[in-house]
Chains A and B, each alone.
Chain A
Amino acid sequence: MHSEAALREPLILGHKTYHDITNDIVGPIENKAPRGWYILTTIAGLIACYGIGCIFYLFSKGIGTWGLNKTVDWAWDITNFVWWVGIGHAGTLISAVLLLFRQKWRMAVNRSAEAMTIFAVIMAATFPLIHMGRLWLAYWVFPLPNQFGSLWVNFNSPLLWDVFAISTYFSVSLVFWYIGLIPDFATIRDRLTKPGWKRAYSILSFGWTGNAKAWTRFEEVSLVLAGVATPLVFSVHSVVSMDFATSVVPGWHTTIFPPYFVSGAVFSGFAMVLTLLLVMRKVMHLEAYITVKHVEYMNIVIIVTGSIVGVAYITELFVSWYSGVEYESYAFINRATGPYWWSYWAMMTCNVISPQLFWVKKWRRNLMFTFVMSLVVNTGMWFERFVIIVTSLHRDYVPSSWTMFHPTWVDAGIFVGTIGIFFTLYLLFARYFPVLALNELKSILKVTGESYKADAAKHQHH
């Protein structure tokens, strides 16, 4: 067993034993849920139902129930899509990239981050589906054999790449997440006594025995999946960005998009992880596992990615001026000073200025401040997508077609609805799934547990 420098902050606070960890994580699943959980789930469920109602209303009437028009053919739909996909970046980044980099602190956050990823990607995938004029023909985007003769999908289209990118990302993330869950499900199974529940977790745990062979394979598979998932973290949002970058629309047609989108995605993903974890930590009493240090690590990621995003914004402005293209130049002037100036400045404030506050150590270790900032960042990132999509489209080449986009209650209903669905799923996850990778945590307990570190330090002194 390797040991860790005493200088490093412990990742598990207090004196915890293996059994404590199991109790802390599995306990809430075994016990009756607190009242708060029922209240929250009811609220989220109602919002989800409203959103689903709006989606059905959309189906019954047509895309015209949204505020789109002849000039702005995408608005909230694709804004929400990109926003959710972006949020869905943190989970796999934490579990895959940080696994490869052997970052132990990921173990406390990866489970819920991955769950968030899965749910966010589900929400994201909803939008490209429901934004189609003829949803019932959505399967035509797959290169399936068909009765139309040699009719094939258009491999030139970035939308098609999207289909592949998102579906691959979703499948790999889901498998990765689930593999990680298996040993933890088995632990729950072993502790439960109610036959029905025991049976359910028994099925979920795929007959996990916990022998050395299973663990070896578990780790091999995790490593392979991490290898597969890592490029996906970068490819998904790169491909999403190409929806815009490969077009001719001024403000979209930008080669900087892939890295800029990926950073933005990680940026917003970490913010959303923080939003969720900070609440969960408090409610489920996980302070010992999700420490201030964890939060600080994530805030550092936010500073880095937020700064990349800020540089990208400024680069865009520079290029629009330097290119000398009148349409490009107008597109950016219009963003900043046109009718949607408020969205541009909301984006700039939330995404460029606010993360820089984390340079102050005191603030980035302040949980309340972090929580507020995580909301600010996600608001900013929503505006970023809105700015890119709507302000570029609403005034592009031909001034005769310039117009404004005004969202309808259906636009808003569906967006809020997806937040409702997301939280419903997340709350169900928090209730029935082990919210931390408890078995993995146990592997670092002796290395980074506070009391163990203290013991080790004591022994060194002697």
Chain B
Amino acid sequence: MPSTTHYWTDLADLHGNEAVTKARADEFPTQLPGIGEVLGDTNLTGATTGRRDFLKFLGFGIGAATLAACETPVIKSIPYVNKPEDIVPGVANWYASTYFDGSDYASVLVKTREGRPIHIKGNPRFGINTRPAKDDKDATMSRSVVNARINSSVITLYDNQRLKGPVLKNTPATWADADKAVEAELEKAAGGGKRIVVLTNTVISPSTKAAIAKLQAKYPATGADAAAGSRVEHVQHDTISYSGVTNANLKSFGKRVMPSYDFTKADVVVSFGADFLSSWGSTTETNWQYAERRKPGNMSRHWQFEARMSMSGANADVRVMLKPSEVTQSVVALHDAVAQATGGTTVGGAGATDEVKKAAAELVAARGKSIVLCGDNNEGVQVLVNHINAMLGNYGTTIDLANHTSFNQGDDAAMAQLVKDMNSGAVGVLMMSGVNPVYSLTNAAEFKNGLAKCFSVSFSTHADETASLCNAICPDHHWLESWNDFMPKVGRYALAQPTIKNIFNTRQWQESLLQWSGDTTSYYDFIRANWEANMGSRLGGELDFGYAWNMSVHNGVYDAYTNAPEASAFVGDVSAAATAAKAAVKTGEWEVSLYEKEGIGNGLHANNPWLQELPDPISKVTWDNYVCMAPEDLIALTGVSNFRELYIGQESPAHVVKVSVNGTEVELPAIPSPGQAPKSVSIALGYGRGANGEGVGRAAVVFDNETKTLVAIGKNVYPMTAVVGGTVSYSSTGTLAATGGTYPLALSQTQMTAMDRHSIAKETTQREWAEHKATETYNAPHTLGVHEDVNGDGVIDSRDQKPTSDFNLWKDHPVEQVGHRWGMSIDLNSCTGCGACITACTSENNVPVVGKDEVRRSREMHWLRLDRYYSSDMTHAVGKAEGKGKIERFLEMEVPSRNPKVFLMPVMCQHCNHAPCETVCPVAATTHSNEGLNMMAYNRCIGTRYCANNCPYKVRRFNWFNYVTDKFADVNPAWDELGRMVLNPDVVVRSRGVIEKCSLCVQQIQGGKLAAKKEQRPVKDGDIVSACMAACGMGAITFGDLNDKDSNVTKLAADERAYHMLDEIGVKPNINYMAKVRNTEEAAHHA
């Protein structure tokens, strides 16, 4: 019998405390239930909800939740009540027009969207800036030069600092009041026997001249002045004077004009300091002509003798560094060398250098097929240059005086006289259009004095340096709001038409003149009547005028006639010229030359943010001006130990120097400029606009963090010009000293050389190219050693190499020969580096302007950049030969040569078929299209920037801030309410925190495909043109379908010169480059 005695162990046991009993039962672990036990739980089968019901509930629940998340997007749009006939929302209208600002001229097409002009490109069929197409196929690959200054001018239309109506004595007025005031003054001046002067930049508009004539007719001269014909005098003044050139032509050939040059016929081009690719002469015409002759096989030879590395110098085959004074001496020496060879008169030019002798020999060998240019504004030098060209028989072949241009009519003598007259009180009323003498005149102070002594009227669009001192400002329309006509060359006419109604209460200045002449017709009617009256016979022909007029408006041009070329006889006095030329030469310790920059030009464009942000093609500096100095000079001046210490970067500011010329002192940062002639410095004109707070446009001034004020960008160096021998001289002597201070500069590229990396920058010589052994010489593919007997010699050794293109780690995207594969070819021989593609891309793709401070931090947003590499004396080959170690070699490679060769290369997204950016994005925001494009879905981007790190070409740009707001409203006038109108509605404005990059203008691709689809045909080559390609008048950029066998881009891709940048890393780009060919004698070296 079991014992009933209970032995309790503790009190809880005795009293039967349940919690403790339970805890005791749980004290020791039991076996965990097996899986079979869990599944075999009978409770599960007893559940009231069956498995199928459960799935139904689950399905319904998810479905309902999903549906609840859907919402039809509401898109609000307001339709036109009365739709304008020609406007289809979403479809761009293009209008032919003409740009002329006194120095740059181009026939253009203006893109408007819903009535807003948003983009400018060259007129692909007409105009002197357009290469005539040889056939229809050729015409599809249109070539029309529009430089950065011209295509960027669209943004100034939306500049909020433009005058919004007439101003009388610095207070806003009505047009009626303004007219009354001016007319009263005109009457007063006429009555008082004083002169009325219309001071303009070069007027190439026949109708404008007719309008001035109207005013002249209204106020005929009386009394003693009767001989002059009128009280009203028209004085033309160019901001940058070409008086020396035109005067020389007058003396040499009896015509005070700028001739037309034809670089397509020039086998040899010798330029003495004339930067004919950027600023000198009719550049929009010169550029395409020059590029036409830079194709290997038919290459011109280009000599450049100059002080500063100009764009022309960067493109030259032989560049000789000379100080400005030596440039003149070389012209004289060349003159005599040519004279000796051709039997002409010599002028005692001694000491011809080897380069001059060689250039002379080449010129003489290319008689009648050469051009000699000189950028000096001295009459004597120019007469000598004319004589050289005459001796070479270039007149009538490459230089045409019969069909001369109408540009550069300004006359320094007339301007000097005007300033005197103003000061003497002989001028009653002064009206000014297109000039800003208070800013840009050599004797601006005298002009300012004179201005106070007469009633002054400015037609300026801004209250600029001159206009703000005028009694009245009658603001002109922006050129995109204007009608005008032009005669750029003898027999060639062009029209500008408004592409938008005037935004502000402005009036075309010609219309103001007509008004004050008592003519109330509109300027449009006036031009039309003028054409009908004066050109009717030529325009009309067998057609009626109305039709011809409409065609002219439609095309933008009317080419009336061309004179037969004439071999003008040289009648100048060369010995007098030589004397004058030599007399003008000044030598001193430091020679200073002044020049115009590609972006800002003569200062007219200082208020254009796109141009301020456009890096200078050579120096890569943005938003500033500076002193270009030879690195060796700068090293000596600052006392640094080597070139690398002159590095300018975010926290490495430039050294400040003080330059004094003609009593004008400026302090500016100095940059090391390889190729600058030692003991010479160069400073850009066109800066220091709005230094006294004048409203010249927001982008001309920058917020200074130290003084908390707006200060002008750069310094005005026009006061450093001097009148020498009756014309303005842009080079002089002066003194230079380091101030010890520093100044931050914003460079878009801080490294100078390509570090001997041949798969980036490939180049060769014309001679080597002509051997057509590209793959063995300059375009050798990168190979890798493999462990297999590639060459079949039975041995596996280091000679067994396979090209890297044979290796492939990745599955190919199915884009080869399927549908489209968009690609691009960039011919480095045709690219002159002008940067028009960059501003065109900015305009087309709404690329934000970020300002100096951000560029200094290497954060410029340009989708397309222009890489500039200087050659270095050090290469791996040279270093190995000299027994130098790698470390030493690399350090020396960072240092450019003293007079380096320049390699210019536009770089944008390479649209790799094996894009490194695509694999690393965690959210697949960047992907590959089935047409070969590397696409960017901004909406999906979360901004890890991994893609940008992994991009070997470093073309991806990150939105570091919201560029549409706060601090960027300051630097970026494009994004205020008005400025926003310039945005392209086809391209989204990117938000803060996303990556962006070149899309190959995917909006154009889609548009082109849509247009072809509507016409039920395949896309043709040339249907789709990216903005950069359209902007490149030199034809360096070709876009197209690489799957189309007949497309231009496919043919170029198969060319022996074609290469992929960084080919060996196997990313398979859809963009290829055509290796640069230089027309030099020495053989190119390859690693």
Binding site for B on A (CB under 8 A): 61-64, 67-74, 128, 131-135, 137-138, 140-141, 147-148, 151-154, 156-160, 163, 209, 211-213, 216-217, 243, 246-249, 326-327, 329-330, 333-334, 337, 393, 395-404, 406
Contact = CB atoms under 8 A, between A and B. Distances in A.
Contact of A159 (B760, B857, B922, B940): B922
Given A151-B924, A400-B907, 14 more contacts: A72-B858, A131-B945, A133-B941, A140-B940, A154-B924, A157-B919, A158-B920, A213-B30, A246-B920, A327-B757, A337-B891, A400-B869, A402-B751, A406-B651
A397 B941 contact: no
A70 B954 contact: yes
B753 A399 contact: yes
Interface centre among B26, B858, B869, B959 (most CB of A within 10 A): B858
Contacts of A337: 887, 890-891
Given A63-B943, A64-B854, A406 B650 contact: yes
B949 A404 contact: no
B958 A70 contact: yes
B859 A153 contact: no
Contacts of B69: 147
A246 B916 CA distance: 10
Given A246-B920, A400-B867, A159 B944 contact: yes
Interface centre among A128, A243, A329 (most CB of B within 10 A): A243
> Which 5 interchain pairs have the tightest Cβ spacing?
A133-B943, A133-B993, A64-B960, A69-B858, A401-B954
Contacts of A330: 755, 890
A70 B948 contact: yes
Nearest to B760: A398
A244 to B, nearest CB: 9
B953 interface: yes
B813 interface: no
Interface in B877-913: 886-887, 890-891, 905, 907
Given A70-B858, A132-B942, A247-B916, A163 B922 contact: yes
B181 interface: no
A133 B958 CA distance: 9
A396 B29 contact: no
Given A212-B28, A330-B890, A73 B949 contact: yes
A215 B948 CA distance: 53
A67 B757 CA distance: 28
B943 A333 contact: no
B858 A137 contact: no
A160 B26 contact: no
10 contacts: A62-B959, A133-B992, A159-B921, A212-B28, A333-B886, A397-B954, A397-B1065, A399-B760, A401-B749, A403-B751
Nearest to A137: B942
Interface centre among A128, A212, A247, A393 (most CB of B within 10 A): A247
Contacts of B994: 133-134
Nearest to B758: A326
B1062 interface: yes
A68 B962 CA distance: 16
B23 A209 contact: yes
B1062 A393 contact: no
A160 B754 CA distance: 35
Interface string B643-662: 00000011110000000000
Contacts of B652: 404
A131 B946 CA distance: 11
Contacts of B858: 69-72, 403
Interface centre among B70, B919, B923, B961 (most CB of A within 10 A): B923
A163 B760 CA distance: 36
Interface centre among B749, B755, B944, B993 (most CB of A within 10 A): B944
Interface in B641-683: 649-652
A99 B754 CA distance: 55
A330 B891 CA distance: 11
Interface string B188-225: 00000000000000000000000000000000000000
B865 interface: yes
Interface centre among A63, A131, A158, A393 (most CB of B within 10 A): A63
B823 to A, nearest CB: 20
Contacts of B867: 398, 400
B983 to A, nearest CB: 21
A449 to B, nearest CB: 27
A69 B949 CA distance: 10
Interface of B: 23, 26-30, 69-70, 649-652, 749-751, 753-755, 757, 760, 854, 857-860, 865, 867-869, 886-887, 890-891, 905, 907, 916, 919-924, 940-946, 948-950, 952-954, 956-962, 991-995, 1061-1062, 1065, 1067
Contacts of B961: 61-62, 64
A132 B755 contact: no
Contacts of B649: 403-404
Contacts of A397: 757, 760, 952-954, 1062, 1065
Contacts of A72: 858
B57 to A, nearest CB: 19
Contacts of B942: 132-134, 137-138, 140-141
B29 A217 contact: yes
B923 A64 contact: no
A395 B942 CA distance: 25
A157 B923 CA distance: 8
Contact of A69 (B28, B857, B924, B1061): B857
A248 B993 contact: no
Nearest to B857: A69
A73 B650 contact: no
B922 A333 contact: no
Contacts of A133: 941-945, 958-959, 992-995
B923 A153 contact: yes
A69 B945 CA distance: 10
Contacts of B948: 70, 73
B907 A211 contact: no
B698 to A, nearest CB: 21
B954 A157 contact: no
Contacts of B950: 247-249
Contacts of B751: 395, 399-400, 402-403
B988 to A, nearest CB: 15
A209 B907 CA distance: 71
B618 to A, nearest CB: 13
Contact of A131 (B30, B891, B944): B944
Nearest to A209: B23
A239 to B, nearest CB: 13
Contact of A213 (B27, B750, B944, B946): B27
Contacts of A159: 920-922, 944, 946
A154 B921 contact: yes
Given A70-B858, A247-B949, A330-B755, A151 B940 contact: yes
Given A248-B1067, A396-B954, A213 B922 contact: no
Contact of B651 (A148, A158, A326, A404): A404
A177 B946 CA distance: 33
A160 B922 contact: yes
A68 B960 contact: yes
A71 B916 contact: no
A132 B944 contact: yes
A393 B949 contact: yes
A171 to B, nearest CB: 19
Contact of A63 (B23, B920, B923, B958): B958
Nearest to A69: B858
Given A70-B958, A209-B26, A403 B750 contact: yes
Contacts of A248: 916, 950, 952, 1065, 1067
A62 B992 contact: yes
A164 to B, nearest CB: 11
Nearest to A74: B949
Interface centre among A68, A140, A147, A397 (most CB of B within 10 A): A397
B1037 to A, nearest CB: 18
B922 A153 contact: yes
